[in-house]
Amino acid sequence: MLFIDFMRKEMESHPLGDKFKGDVRAFIAKHFSSMGFSKWLSEMRGETLSEDESFLVGKAYIEFGERKPSEIPTVLGLLTRQYNILFEVPAHYYEADFWESKFASH
């Protein structure tokens, strides 16, 4: 599940979710500092992600986690160790150059 979709569900079930009037990005901005990615990652614990899903995990860390593209290979490795998430991806997903070329403006 995409991080933004996961957070949309969190917002809808949150007692104060209505005050955001469907603006999931505002909800993320308000609640990310306390919750971060932990609940989302726990939902994915033990899963094997496709190449597309893996790319979207990296993108979420860049967009919402404010990580540098060059850090994503390390993030993927940590997620494998900490959450037992397996990434079925080509080797270049574990190279900083790949992420930097995809997200040159970050």
d(CA 6, CA 14): 12
| Domain spans in the chain, listed from the N-terminal domain onward | 1-35, 37-106
The tokens for 91 are 């080797």
87 touches 55 (CB < 8 A): no
55 touches 92 (CB < 8 A): no
- What is residue 37's predicted lDDT score, i.e. its pLDDT? 93
Q: Write out pLDDT tens, residues 54-105.
A: 999 999 999 999 999 999 999 999 999 999 999 999 999 999 999 999 998 7
CB atoms within 10 A of CB 59: 17
Going by pLDDT thresholds of 50, 70 and 90, the confidence category of residue 106 is low
Q: Write out pLDDT tens, residues 8-64.
A: 998 999 888 888 888 898 888 888 877 889 999 999 999 999 999 999 999 999 999
38 touches 65 (CB < 8 A): no
